[in-house]
Amino acid sequence: MKAEIINVGTELLLGSTLNTNAQFLSQRLAELGEEVYFHTVVGDNRGRLKDALNLALKRSQLIILTGGLGPTQDDLTKEVVCETLNLKLNLNKEVLNEIKRYFNKLHREMSENNIKQAYIPENSIVLKNDIGTAPGVLVNWNDKKIAILPGPPNEMKTMFNKYLSPLIKENYIIKSKTLKTIGISESTLELMIKDFIDSQTNPTIATYVKEGQVDVKITAKEENKENSDDLINDMVEKVEKRIGKYIYSYDDETIEEALYKILKDRGFKIAFCESCTGGLVSGRFTKIPGVSQVFDRGIVTYSNRAKVEELNVKEDTLRKYGAVSEETAIEMAEGLLKKSNVDIALSTTGIAGPDGGSEEKPVGLVYIGVATKEGSHAVKFTFPGNRISIQNRTATMVFDEGRKCLLKLNN
Amino acid sequence: MKAEIINVGTELLLGSTLNTNAQFLSQRLAELGEEVYFHTVVGDNRGRLKDALNLALKRSQLIILTGGLGPTQDDLTKEVVCETLNLKLNLNKEVLNEIKRYFNKLHREMSENNIKQAYIPENSIVLKNDIGTAPGVLVNWNDKKIAILPGPPNEMKTMFNKYLSPLIKENYIIKSKTLKTIGISESTLELMIKDFIDSQTNPTIATYVKEGQVDVKITAKEENKENSDDLINDMVEKVEKRIGKYIYSYDDETIEEALYKILKDRGFKIAFCESCTGGLVSGRFTKIPGVSQVFDRGIVTYSNRAKVEELNVKEDTLRKYGAVSEETAIEMAEGLLKKSNVDIALSTTGIAGPDGGSEEKPVGLVYIGVATKEGSHAVKFTFPGNRISIQNRTATMVFDEGRKCLLKLNN
């Protein structure tokens, strides 16, 4: 079914609230087989809301509105929907009793303006609110379905999952698989699979890029699960043949989680020492729950003194090659491996900017050192972007270098 | 000016990406005096994008589009804008050279399809992309302004702030001042200044909350600068009288920058050792350019062994009180102070979850240790939220504890 989402609330247009409701509903609707073609955000304004609703009625079969169900005067979603569809709003005694019970339970007086929330459009289905006072509504109008849900994300999500989704389920199934790549640019990758992209129908193929990583998402739509699995597996296989060596994982797994999994599977321990990333590598890694099983320690050696004292980098190396050099990166990683006695130690040293760059060593130059009991090496990178972006890309490549090294290591 | 935002990208309609761009642009446009009446999200689809743009042209003077500037085939925002406005797309050699330089710097081959990004609508202003390859565009068309910005938030934000915002500024002046607070909840703070909020007209007062910090933003809109300065200063003074002790800084300064400034002013050095935050404290601190002047080192002692080896925490202390305890937090900070010989050392130890909590030591329990040559102490916190939120809140409070301690220290 063609679907669209209308989020009502001036706070969204002012940017004081992030519109997480649209994302949640989009994900759930896709899972239910609905095709979401538009999101619209409109303020608490009768005329503009009416315009948005009229437009949606012209182009979509399923319209989900959120927000504007509160007890106050500027909450007017139900009223505008009824005006637009020419429906009456009737007091629903059952709903009123629900609201009264809600206040009783909290030992609070129900205020007069909460009565407004018990008015329900004629010929519609009430969607219970298990968390707050405002019930939702599903209106079946001609061949269209119009749902109104409360704005607070908690109430909205519970109501959608429990009461609305069983009423709007489609017969077919949307499934997708994401191939996560690293070390290849979006444009190069796309050229490698251009014929698939050009001829896509079902499944569809799309690429998404984020700081040095490109995801390839393959999505199929079928009436039964087996068919869509077949469609996806077939295309995944074809794409893998072309870009397989850049794929590090599938679906939602991050590069740090991919590294974590290898470490855990093999019973290995890891340690990081960081100069230009300043703790970001350890910080990102420890966002993973349960990481203490594989993560021994991290050292942020921002000063040269700390590199010497903590990691036993030779002062001579720092003098001769500089802190940002292959030699220093390797000595950092080796020093850490030795002192922590882990299976793999990784280091970063580079120029994150904005200052400190030179012709010979520009901002964005980074060395990543890798040390294991079988040997050590460093990899040189030149990253684009500003300080934050260079730090993020460096951290991403640290995880990837760690992963690649472990895959080559004998167990 | 009536304004609206159109975010282009199928990933937004599928819910795989959260639309943070709309929020960022809404906030910035409000600050510039623009009135945002609609957000629209539309997929990478020629017909629907054209419909959305035509509708926007009917009702708004300023239209900001994001996304669809990439090198690939489904990136078609520029093309659709030109078709709709009847403008030619011309190859811009300067832009092409920029893109080539970008790839040269990275020692990577520019792929053929990147040339697409160098095509610019006739009679438009190029907005430089300091971070990526896709330039933005501002088209002045009849009495309207249509801006196209890249989709990746990093690129979009930098381009908006640096190149677009000066070109779309209104004639009157919007000025604002933000009071940054820490250690007080939004609802408590709001009650303390409720009379100001209820009676606000010009300047306006709004509160924004983010993981343990509440910002109070006071905004005035006037035709001349002096008037708005007076309006703001007057209100700032009134608000400060009520909530002064919670204010740590003003405007864009983060809590880590406030700490950095004190360290720099006094010529002090700092070091961090982290358990539950796993590098986040060092990582956030080193996002500040020039931080090497004050930051000596960071140690992430995730394992007990690392706490003993790196920080000289007594095994007896770990056994008797546990890793998450006041005693361990203090010994960590003291051990780091001694080994690094800095002016102030801070430690974190806590239970970030989701596992590892108990009745006595629940998820969210955190100790922050502070050590200087004048003595040491630990502060206990119980933070709400999930793992990431607990880590973020802990890091924020580390910077605040460091700041408060330094303000009390004699120079």
d(Cα B137, Cα B148) in Å, to the nearest integer? 5
Of A207-211, B26-30, B40-44, the range with the lowest mean pLDDT is A207-211
Q: Which of residues 182-201 of B touch A (CB under 8 A)?
A: none
pLDDT tens-digit series, residues A116-126: 999 999 999 99
Quick one: DSSP state of residue B212? T
**Who among A286, A303, A355 is closest to B302 (CB)?**
A286
Contact between B292 and A302 using a beta-carbon 8 Å cutoff: yes
What is the distance in angstroms between the Cα of A197 and the nearest Cα belonging to chain B? 9
In the chain, the amino acid numbered B82 is: C
Q: Which of residues 204-263 of A touch B (CB under 8 A)?
A: 206-211, 217, 219
Q: Does domain B255-408 have CATH number 3.60.15.10?
A: no
CB A283 within 8 A of CB B279: yes
Q: Give the three-class secondary structure for B17.
A: coil
CB A110 within 8 A of CB A67: no
Of A203-217, A243-257, B61-75, B395-409, the range with the lowest mean pLDDT is A203-217
Q: Looking at A55-195, which runs of residues are DSSP E strands?
A: 62-66, 89-91, 119-121, 124-127, 136-141, 144-149, 173-182
Contact between B299 and A300 using a beta-carbon 8 Å cutoff: yes
Whole-Å CA distances, A301 to A349, A400, B216, B382, B402: 9, 21, 37, 30, 20
Superfamily assignment of A2-168 in CATH?
A: MoaB/Mog-like domain (3.40.980.10)
Provide the ipTM.
0.73
d(Cα B1, Cα B32) in Å, to the nearest integer? 10
Residue in A closest to B280 by C-alpha? A283
d(Cα A295, Cα B54) in Å, to the nearest integer? 54
Residue B360, chain A, CB below 8 Å: the answer is: no
Contact between B38 and A13 using a beta-carbon 8 Å cutoff: yes
pLDDT tens-digit series, residues B353-407: 888 889 899 999 999 999 999 999 999 998 877 888 899 999 999 999 999 999 9
- Order of all β-strands in the sheet with A144-149: A124-127, A136-141, A144-149, A62-66, A2-8, A35-42, B35-42, B2-8, B62-66, B144-149, B136-141, B124-127
Q: Which positions in chain A touch B332 (Cβ < 8 Å)?
A: none
Backbone angles phi, psi at A162, to 5 degrees: -85, -40
In this predicted structure, what is the pLDDT of residue A410?
67
pLDDT tens-digit series, residues A125-141: 999 998 888 999 999 99
Of A27-31, A236-240, B83-87, the range with the lowest mean pLDDT is A27-31
CB A33 within 8 A of CB A112: no
Q: Which of residues 317-336 of A touch B (CB under 8 A)?
A: none
Q: Looking at B136-233, which runs of residues are DSSP E strands?
A: 136-141, 144-149, 173-182, 204-210, 213-222
Contact between B387 and A23 using a beta-carbon 8 Å cutoff: no
Q: Which positions in chain A touch B301 (Cβ < 8 Å)?
A: 297
**Who among B39, B296, B391 is closest to A40 (CB)?**
B39
Contact between A27 and B16 using a beta-carbon 8 Å cutoff: yes
pLDDT tens-digit series, residues B105-144: 878 888 888 999 999 999 999 999 998 889 999 999 999 9
Q: Which positions in chain B touch A2 (Cβ < 8 Å)?
A: none
What is the distance in angstroms between the Cα of B208 and the nearest Cα belonging to chain A? 7
Backbone angles phi, psi at B364, to 5 degrees: 105, -15
Of A378-387, B136-145, B179-188, the range with the lowest mean pLDDT is B179-188
Whole-Å CA distances, B52 to B12, B45, B57: 15, 11, 9
Residue A54, chain B, CB below 8 Å: the answer is: no
**Who among B131, B208, B297 is closest to A384 (CB)?**
B131
CB B32 within 8 A of CB A40: no
| Residue with the two structure tokens 């924004």 | B208
Residue B315 has pLDDT above 90, yes or no: yes
**Would you identify the CATH topology of the domain B173-250?**
Alpha-Beta Plaits (3.30.70)
Best mutation target among B49, B108, B198, B282 (most A Cβ atoms within 10 Å) is B282
Residues 6+ apart with CB under 8 A from A196: A205, A235, A238, A239
Q: Is residue B89 exposed (0-12), middle (13-18) or buried (19+ Cβ within 10 Å)?
A: middle
Question: Cα angle at B251 between B399 and B202, to 5 degrees?
Answer: 145
Higher pLDDT, B16 or B391: B391
**Who among B102, B131, B296 is closest to A303 (CB)?**
B296
Higher pLDDT, A103 or B371: B371
**Who among A279, A286, A384 is closest to B286 (CB)?**
A279
**Who among A15, A22, A207 is closest to B27 (CB)?**
A15
Q: Which positions in chain A touch B134 (Cβ < 8 Å)?
A: none
Percentage of residues of chain A with pLDDT beyond 90: 71
pLDDT tens-digit series, residues A141-154: 999 999 999 998 88
Distance, C-alpha A218 to centroid of its chain: 17
Q: Which positions in chain A touch B295 (Cβ < 8 Å)?
A: 278, 302-303
Q: Give the three-class secondary structure for B51.
A: helix
Average pLDDT score, chain B = 92
In the chain, the amino acid numbered A110 is: M
**Who among A48, A197, A208 is closest to B11 (CB)?**
A208
In this predicted structure, what is the pLDDT of residue B291?
92
Residue A91, chain B, CB below 8 Å: the answer is: no
| Among B183, B180, B176, residue whose Cα is nearest residue B200 | B176
Tally A–B CB contacts below 8 A: 282
| Residue with the two structure tokens 């247009």 | A13
Parallel, antiparallel, or unpaired for β A365-372 and A344-350? antiparallel
Residue A104, chain B, CB below 8 Å: the answer is: no
CB B172 within 8 A of CB B222: yes
CB A37 within 8 A of CB B50: no
What is the distance in angstroms between the Cα of A187 and the nearest Cα belonging to chain B? 6
| Among B335, B244, B344, residue whose Cα is nearest residue B285 | B344
What is the distance in angstroms between the Cα of A123 and the nearest Cα belonging to chain B? 30
In this predicted structure, what is the pLDDT of residue A252?
84
Contact between A42 and B38 using a beta-carbon 8 Å cutoff: yes
pLDDT tens-digit series, residues B29-85: 988 888 999 999 999 999 999 999 999 999 999 999 999 998 888 899 999 999 999
**Who among B15, B154, B340 is closest to A27 (CB)?**
B15
Question: Cα angle at A239 between A234 and A242, to 5 degrees?
Answer: 135
Contact between B280 and A272 using a beta-carbon 8 Å cutoff: no
What is the distance in angstroms between the Cα of A91 and the nearest Cα belonging to chain B? 32
- The full set of domain ranges for chain B reads 2-168, 173-250, 255-408
Parallel, antiparallel, or unpaired for β B213-222 and B344-350? unpaired
- What are residue B138's DSSP bridge partners? B125, B147
Q: Which positions in chain A touch B388 (Cβ < 8 Å)?
A: 287
Backbone angles phi, psi at A287, to 5 degrees: -70, -20
DSSP string, A326-386: HHHHHHHHHHHHHHH--SEEEEEEE--SSSS--SSS-TTEEEEEEEETTEEEEEEEE--S-
| Among B159, B81, B163, B63, residue whose Cα is nearest residue B119 | B81
What is the distance in angstroms between the Cα of A282 and the nearest Cα belonging to chain B? 5
d(Cα A222, Cα A286) in Å, to the nearest integer? 39
In this predicted structure, what is the pLDDT of residue A109?
77
Whole-Å CA distances, A4 to A141, B48, B66, B322: 16, 13, 20, 53
In this predicted structure, what is the pLDDT of residue A239?
96
- What are residue B372's DSSP bridge partners? B344, B375
- Torsion region of A392: left, alpha or beta (phi above 0 gives left; psi -120 to 50 gives alpha): alpha
Whole-Å CA distances, B201 to A262, B100, B198, B218, B289: 59, 51, 9, 11, 38
Contact between A277 and B295 using a beta-carbon 8 Å cutoff: no
In this predicted structure, what is the pLDDT of residue B411?
57
Higher pLDDT, B220 or A20: A20
**Who among B19, B280, B339 is closest to A283 (CB)?**
B280
**Who among A52, A272, A296 is closest to B303 (CB)?**
A296
pLDDT band at B229 (very low <50, low <70, confident <90, very high): confident
d(Cα B296, Cα B344) in Å, to the nearest integer? 10
Residue in B closest to A30 by C-alpha? B14
